[in-house]
Amino acid sequence: MAFRFGHAGDFHVDEDRYFSDTAQCLEWFVADAIQASVDFFVINGDLTTYKATIKERNLWVDMLVEMANHAPVILVAGNHGAELEGDLYVFGRAKGWHAIHLCTEPQFIELGEAAVAVFPYPRKAEMAGNEHSLGETFAQQLDEFNRRFEQRPGSYKLFFGHFGVAGARVSSGQPLVGRCAEYPLDPLRSLEAQYVGLSHVHLRQQLAPRIWYAGSLSRCDYSEVEDKGYHLVTLNAPELRPDLSDLNVEFRISPTRRMVELRAVYEDGELRLPDNLDLLTLKDSRVKVVVTVPNGPDHLLSREQQENLREKLLAASPAELKVKIEHDVDLPAEPAPIAAAHSAEEKLRAYWAMKGTPPVDRQERLLTKLAEVEKAVLSG
């Protein structure tokens, strides 16, 4: 009888950044996995980007209860937010018809026919030693997992972890070096697990025949142009077959929005977008336009020109549009109107005139705050 589970990670639910898109993808993942009749769910770290807010926590509790009402849930601590400092505790206490297994330390879990080894992101104290000792501890823990696997013949054998692996690549195509806890690949190759499911790297990739990064469920940055989703994994037998016929990994693509970054240039009084730009590709996408403008008072991009640019791009019906103005770095960065302004308020208004003004209520809040700061400084 086949055994099936959903493996997803790196959700990065953030109330202030792409919340609706991320929430939609999370809800889709839960519904899609339930429809596929999974035997359990793996939530493999980085549930939020920072310490969870009430809104983020409520979304996750609802989703975890919905999952647990269908099948057991394995919840793995990642490196973002405060997941290793108790932030996941409330999620582990959520109640459904099935158990939610919270893993903040290396752990071995038995789920019916399955034996599951879990290796969360290491705590800071564990990372305090040198790289050699960190890798050595990792290899020893995996050896222990193999001994536990050997004691369970006839069980499906799985491993899940949240960490970097030497040689893994990120969405921008650069090697993942010096950014995180990073372990060698060889100990993972030696695991007697049918599927080694990893998270922490947002780019979906296969490191070895049975070793996979599932990638992030939704797009978190403009560099992440690849498809996003989760792994729906089916094990056809409880033994490791040399031809991999016991394992089927299906990549289920999520409905996350495209993120498009455009480069525009302002020269000789003319604003030019890329020649090969097809506006139809911007529909329903999150669009960011970076406009490069020469420095100096003779090269200011007027508000009218900025609005014309916005109107042209908004006609393509993007889900979101951001315009960022950048000035050449080889010349002084401060434009003449800002340099000529005397008071802090005048400088701020000159900056708004160049970059575009925020909403009126926000202008008032900023000016009030500025006056308070100036008063405090002068009185001190």
Q: What would the pLDDT profile of 15-49 be if each residue is shown by its tens digit? A: 998 899 999 999 999 999 999 999 999 999 999 99
Spell out the residues 6+ positions from residue 333 whose beta carbon is closer than 8 angstroms to its own: 295, 327
Instruction: Determine the pLDDT at residue 131.
Output: 55
Instruction: Determine the pLDDT at residue 86.
Output: 87
Distance CA 290, CA 299 (A): 16
Distance CA 257, CA 218 (A): 8
**Would you call 177 helix, strand, or coil by DSSP?**
coil
CATH architecture type of domain 3-253: 4-Layer Sandwich (3.60)
164-165 and 211-213 as β-strands: parallel, antiparallel, unpaired? unpaired
Note the pLDDT tens digit of each residue in 310-345: 888 899 998 888 888 877 655 444 455 665 666 777
Distance CA 330, CA 328 (A): 6
Residue with structure tokens 């582990």? 92
Task: Assess whether pLDDT exceeds 90 at residue 353.
Answer: no
- More confident call, 26 vs 263: 26
Average pLDDT for residues 339-365, to the nearest whole number? Answer: 72
* Domain range list for the chain: 3-253, 257-333, 338-380
Distance CA 307, CA 322 (A): 12
Residue with structure tokens 């506006």? 279
Q: Which CA distances in Å does 155 have to 113, 149, 236?
A: 5, 8, 12
175 phi/psi in degrees, rounded to 5: -60, 145
Strand partners, 162: 199
Task: Assess whether pLDDT exceeds 90 at residue 214.
Answer: yes
Average pLDDT for residues 69-82, to the nearest whole number? Answer: 93
Instruction: Determine the pLDDT at residue 333.
Output: 45
- Lowest pLDDT segment from 19-33, 75-89, 231-245, 285-299: 285-299
Strand partners, 7: 42, 231
Instruction: Determine the pLDDT at residue 354.
Output: 63
Amino acid identity, residue 138? F
Note the pLDDT tens digit of each residue in 215-230: 999 998 888 889 999 9
Distance CA 186, CA 184 (A): 6
Task: Assess whether pLDDT exceeds 50 at residue 56.
Answer: yes
Amino acid identity, residue 340? A
Spell out the residues 6+ positions from residue 140 whose beta carbon is closer than 8 angstroms to its own: none
Instruction: Determine the pLDDT at residue 338.
Output: 60
Instruction: Determine the pLDDT at residue 177.
Output: 46
Computed over every residue of the chain, the mean pLDDT equals 86
In the 8-state DSSP scheme, what is residue 227? -
Distance CA 265, CA 271 (A): 6
- Lowest pLDDT segment from 1-5, 61-65, 248-252, 373-377: 373-377
Amino acid identity, residue 314? L
Spell out the residues 6+ positions from residue 151 whose beta carbon is closer than 8 angstroms to its own: none
Distance CA 227, CA 361 (A): 38
Compute the C-alpha angle 184/186/190, nearest 5°: 135
Note the pLDDT tens digit of each residue in 168-197: 988 775 555 445 778 999 999 999 999 999
Amino acid identity, residue 60? W
Instruction: Determine the pLDDT at residue 300.
Output: 67
Asked if 205 contacts 213 with a C-beta cutoff of 8 angstroms, the reply is: yes
Percent above pLDDT 90 for the chain: 53
